[in-house]
Amino acid sequence: MTKYLEQFKSSKFANPGLILLFILAFVPLFISDQFILQLLISALLFGTLAMAFDFTVGFINVVNFGFAAFWGAGGYTSALLASKLGVSPWIGIFAGLFFSAVLGFLVGLLTLRLHGIFAAVMAWFTGLGLMSIVTNWTSFTRGPLGLMSPMFFDTMDRGPYFYVVLVMAIFSFFALLAIANSRIGLFFKAIGQDEEAAKASGVNPTWYRVLNFTISTAIAGLLGGFYAHYIGILTPDVMKTSQTIEIMALAYVGGRGSIWGPLVAAFFFIPVLTYLQPLMEIRLIIYGLVLIGVMIFYPGGISALYRNLWDRVKA
Amino acid sequence: MISGQSLASLLLAAIVRAGLYTLTATGLSLIFGVMNVPNFAHGELYMIGAYIAVFSFAGLNLPPLVAILLAAILGFILGAIIEKSFFYPLRQRSKRRKIWIMNTFLVTVGLSLLLKNLIQAIAGTKYRGIDSYWQGGLKVAGISISVDRLVGVAIAAVVVLAFWLFLQKTTIGKAIRATAQDETGAKVVGIDLNNIHTLTFALSAMLASIAGASLLSLNPAYPTMGLMPLFSSWFVVILVGLGNIASIPVGALIISLIETFAAYSVGSGWQRLFSLALIIIILLFKPRGLFGSDVKGVWER
């Protein structure tokens, strides 16, 4: 174990997520095509969500299968504040962050006694419950009719939105990476690998599991707020299980426990899936096969592939 | 207040629903108990059963029972093919059991995408329903019951009973239960685990397929029809405890009663929240479900 840690520390490999984010900062200077900008915004949005998802599944080994509901909750909080009380979106997104964090804290408490699939199912059921409330409380959220939400900017240009989501992505990336590389991250991993052993070594799983859930859902809530004021209309569909699946697939294919892997995976999958749109169903059939194939043949995903290649280059 | 008549018809609707949930939840629980696969594609197997039945009944004009039987057989074969082509290679390659459940979870998610879109590519998004397999209705004490639903419930009951007897009495059934309890022990006494896994998945697909076929008049076939039964079977399975097959009919009845009566009294849409709230509360106090099974083979992580 220590040997592995030494190895990991000494191999200071170039983090592809960092490189990607650095390049992206200059993209709008060269590209003004709105369609491509939109694609990049989607990729950043889902990539960041997948990083936050990975923060839970790759570290404490709990699948937050209700993840999309936290995202949606953040979006709805911000959109409701803006449309009912006229609160500025710039303040609303932080209210969304806070609300989702509180929800995540509560769900973290709910799933405490549960392990593996039971915890995943519990998070899923809570998410379904939230979605059910948003769908049916039509007098408040307008349900499936959609809630109008004011935009961040008055312009049709996607450039400013790109920088907003880029800042959020960079912030999340460094925050998650810093925590993951700190002592706390080590405790998370210890709990994920063997909770009993972690307990025996003096790590309090209760506190760290709840903390992990809170951080992950807070980021989801922040991006939910961004989405609300970027798209301009929210329907309960944002909380659908299929949204969670999309995020989860990015996290798995990117490689669990790496933080950067899911981000890179998003920049691969989202453009490809968008450009394959004309293929209709075939597109999702291929997607399904890719997911199955990765899990059978290379469950470590992109980050494990990269690490292996890096080790080979160094050797 | 609910009148006597509508109470009786609500009860009847709940029983029909319970039959459906029992069929799907039994398969779901069995796969988890024996193979430790949390199957997210279970609803798609149900959907395929419905499609097979609608094509053989309305398309080929086969008699209803033949259509349902065909759905059962093809469902069984499809299940076996899926197990052999996806889960078998995955099992050969994965050594760590802890990773297994979470990896298979994503495999079933991919499988669900695959099957759903394959059917959509072949049959389109159209709703394909039938009015009924069997015409006519009975009138008992002022309540009309359609023969179709009655037969649907009867089929569910017979299949579940037969399946339970199969698990309890036959050698193969005992081998399946033995594998669920202790995989190593089962291997030691000479049970071929590969065959048992394939058989289990095939049987579970068959049960889901029968459910989809026999209640076709209630739920017309369309590509995403599997989602609702998937939710509900997970509710039932978690409620009674994963891997606990004997208590599933009870759990199915509880869930369907809640859903039916909640839909009646507070309007449809909210009914799911009631069963969700109930399950969350039960999970809080009894993390292994209501009847907390102690099936040893079910890995916790």
Burial zone of A46 (CB within 10 Å; 0-12 exposed, 13-18 middle, 19+ buried): buried
Q: How many CB pairs under 8 A join A and B?
A: 129
Q: Whole-angstrom Cα distance, residue A127 to residue A120?
A: 11
- Token readout for A287 is 């997607």
- A263: tokens are 């981000």
Contact B101, B301 (CB under 8 A): yes
Mean per-residue pLDDT of chain B: 84
Nearest CA in chain B to A283: B117
Chain A residues within an 8 Å CB radius of B98? 61, 116
Alpha-carbon span B141 to A37, nearest angstrom:
67
Q: Which residue of A has its CA nearest to B40?
A: A245
Query: Domains (ranges, CATH) in chain A?
Result: 2-314 (1.10.3470)
**Residues of chain A with C-beta less than 8 angstroms from the C-beta of B277:** 129
* Backbone dihedral angles phi then psi of residue A233, each to the nearest 5 degrees: -145, 135
Place of tokens 């397999």: B133
Mean pLDDT for chain A overall: 83
Q: What pLDDT does residue B98 have?
A: 65
- The answer to whether the Cβ–Cβ distance between A296 and B105 falls below 8 Å is no
Give per-residue pLDDT as tens, B80-120.
999 999 988 888 887 666 678 778 888 998 999 999 999 99
Residue B71: its pLDDT value, please? Answer: 93
Phi, psi of A10 (to 5 degrees): -75, -25
Residue A3 binned pLDDT confidence (cut-offs 50, 70, 90): very low
Nearest to A252 by CA among A297, A217, A213, A299: A299
How far apart, in whole angstroms, are the C-alpha atoms of residue B246 and residue B224? 29
What DSSP character marks residue A232? S
User: Could you read off the pLDDT of A124-139 as tens digits, one per residue?
Assistant: 888 888 888 888 887 7
Q: Which of A116, A74, A42, A76 is nearest to A216 (CA)?
A: A74
Record: contact B301-A115, CB cut-off 8 A: yes
Dist. CA A183–CA A221, nearest whole Å: 25
DSSP labels for A106-132? HHHHHTTT--HHHHHHHHHHHHHHHHH
Percentage of residues in chain A having pLDDT higher than 90: 10
**Which of A288, A290, A292 has the CB atom closest to B117's CB atom?**
A288
Domain definitions of chain B by residue range: 4-224
User: Across residues A138-156, what is the average pLDDT?
Assistant: 78
Q: Which residues in chain B (29-48) have CB-CB distances under 8 A to chain A?
A: 32, 38
d(CA A149, CA A232): 5
Let me know: does A96 contact A221? Beta carbons within 8 Å: yes
Interface with B, mutate which of A65, A281, A287 (most B CBs under 10 A)? A281
Tell me what pLDDT residue B301 has: 31
Residue A32 has pLDDT above 60, yes or no: yes
Q: Which of B31, B37, B106 to substitute to test the interface with A, most A CBs within 10 Å? A: B106
The pLDDT of residue B292 is 62
**B140, HSE (Cβ side, Cα atoms, 13 Å):** 8
- Which region among A3-17, A25-39, A143-157 has the lowest average model confidence (pLDDT)? A3-17
* Alpha-carbon span B267 to B282, nearest angstrom: 24
**Is residue A6 over pLDDT 70?**
no
A interface with B, Cβ–Cβ < 8 A, is 57, 61, 63, 110, 113-118, 120-122, 124-126, 128-129, 132-133, 135-136, 241, 245, 248-249, 252, 280-285, 287-292, 295-297, 299
Could you tell me which of B94, B85, B71, B90 has the C-alpha nearest to residue B114? B85
Q: What is the pLDDT of residues A165-224, one digit of tens each?
A: 888 888 898 888 888 888 888 888 888 887 778 888 888 888 888 898 899 999 999 999
* E strand spans, B9-136: none
A142, amino acid identity: R
In this model, does residue A304 exceed pLDDT 90?
no
Stretches where chain B sits below pLDDT 50 are: 295-301
B169 touches chain A (CB under 8 A): no
| Residue-level pLDDT at B209 | 94
CA dist., res. A81 & res. A232, Å (int): 14
Specify the pLDDT at position A197. Answer: 83
User: Is the CB of A292 less than 8 angstroms away from the CB of B86?
Assistant: yes
